[in-house]
């Protein structure tokens, strides 16, 4: 009986979400849960508890040894991370944009999979791992070029890698990390070269935050996909929408910090759910 009741509630939420999207002018906010079907793990499991503790900004800038550890792990994980491809969820979001129903796509992800799926003008709250930036002089580099330089500097770096992590790195032993040559800026030769993403302990640039607030304020609805909203960078937009009486729909597996502010809540797999929504909208 309880299973049947849950199914009926989910069906009602699905139908309400379809109608919200049918009205158009919706802002979409996506999180790591949208990319798990592409093989990129998220920080938290279905229970909402953090499974991975990433390197913080403070740790990264504190010492060359920390940067060596980060870059050795990232060097191994990058090829696997860069090889990820968009899944049905990413394609569905791009379809919603193509249908003219989405005002803006805001993502907390750093994998660029929205763009690979065909989405345009994606606002990346936390940056993109495909770029790196020198913290001393500001010079930027494409990660593919940087990877080539790292390969040349570490031709014999062979390790048994562990599981891929959300930031695109893997867990390595201290013995494996020792001797790894970290990247240097081609302009100023500083070793403070960092992926152009927002680390824990950093803030999203103010101009990007303001742009996202303006999108939400001008929308008829905010749809959150695959995010537990545990970090303020995304949660603040849900709070703002709810305070402005803008409908909030949340589709993710497991609990979300924004559940009490959601007008539509659906606990369901993203790929199949979003694909079905696009089909319903095209009828």
Is it the case that residue 18 has pLDDT exceeding 70?
Answer: yes
Q: What's the Cα-to-Cα distance from 240 to each of 213, 218, 254, rounded to whole Å?
A: 8, 12, 22
Give the pLDDT of residue 3: 41
Give the pLDDT of residue 51: 52
Q: Mean pLDDT of all residues in the chain? A: 89
In whole angstroms, give the CA distance from residue 200 to residue 215. 25
Summarize pLDDT for 130-145 with one digit per residue, the tens.
Answer: 999 999 999 999 999 9
Is it the case that residue 114 has pLDDT exceeding 90?
Answer: yes
- 121 phi and psi angles, rounded to 5 deg: 50, 45
Give the pLDDT of residue 37: 95
* Percentage above 70 pLDDT, the chain: 87
Give the pLDDT of residue 5: 41
As given in the structure block, the two tokens for residue 97 are 């944009």
126 in catalytic set: yes
Summarize pLDDT for 164-175 with one digit per residue, the tens.
Answer: 555 555 667 777
Give the pLDDT of residue 162: 54
DSSP lists the bridge partners of residue 251 as 225, 266
Torsion (CA) 268, 279, 31, 182 in degrees, nearest 10? 120
Give the pLDDT of residue 102: 97
Summarize pLDDT for 65-93 with one digit per residue, the tens.
Answer: 999 999 988 888 887 788 999 999 999 99
Summarize pLDDT for 161-211 with one digit per residue, the tens.
Answer: 555 555 555 667 777 788 899 999 999 999 999 999 999 889 999 999 999
Q: Choose, from 14, 90, 114, 126, the residue flagged as catalytic.
A: 126
Q: What's the Cα-to-Cα distance from 156 to each of 136, 153, 179, 239, 240, rounded to whole Å?
A: 29, 9, 10, 50, 51
């Amino acid at each position: 009986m309880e299973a049947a009741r849950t199914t009926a509630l989910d069906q009602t939420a699905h139908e309400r979400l379809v109608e919200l999207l049918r009205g158009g002018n919706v802002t979409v906010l996506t999180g790591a849960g949208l990319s798990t079907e592409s093989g990129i793990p998220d920080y938290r499991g279905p229970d909402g508890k953090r499974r991975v503790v990433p390197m913080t900004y403070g740790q990264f800038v504190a010492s060359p040894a920390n940067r060596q550890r980060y870059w050795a792990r990232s060097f191994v994980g990058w090829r696997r991370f860069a090889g990820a491809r968009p899944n049905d969820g990413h394609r569905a979001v791009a379809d919603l944009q193509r249908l003219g129903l989405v005002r803006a796509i805001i993502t907390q992800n750093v994998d660029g999979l929205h763009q690979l799926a065909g989405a345009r003008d994606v606002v990346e709250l936390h940056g993109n791992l495909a770029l790196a930036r020198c913290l001393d002089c500001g010079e930027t580099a494409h990660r593919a070029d940087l990877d080539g330089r790292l390969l040349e500097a570490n031709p014999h770096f062979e390790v048994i890698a562990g599981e891929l992590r959300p930031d695109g790195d893997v867990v390595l032993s201290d013995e494996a990390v020792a001797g790894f040559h970290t990247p240097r800026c081609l302009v100023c030769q500083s070793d403070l070269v960092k992926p152009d993403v927002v680390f824990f302990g950093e803030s999203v640039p103010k101009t990007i935050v303001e742009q996202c607030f303006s999108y939400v304020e001008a929308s008829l609805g905010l749809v959150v996909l695959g995010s537990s909203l545990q970090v303020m960078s995304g949660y603040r937009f849900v709070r703002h929408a709810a305070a402005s009486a803008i409908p909030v729909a949340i589709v993710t597996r497991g609990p979300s910090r924004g559940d009490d502010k959601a007008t539509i809540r659906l606990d369901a797999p993203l790929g199949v759910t979003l694909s079905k929504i696009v089909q319903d909208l095209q009828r």
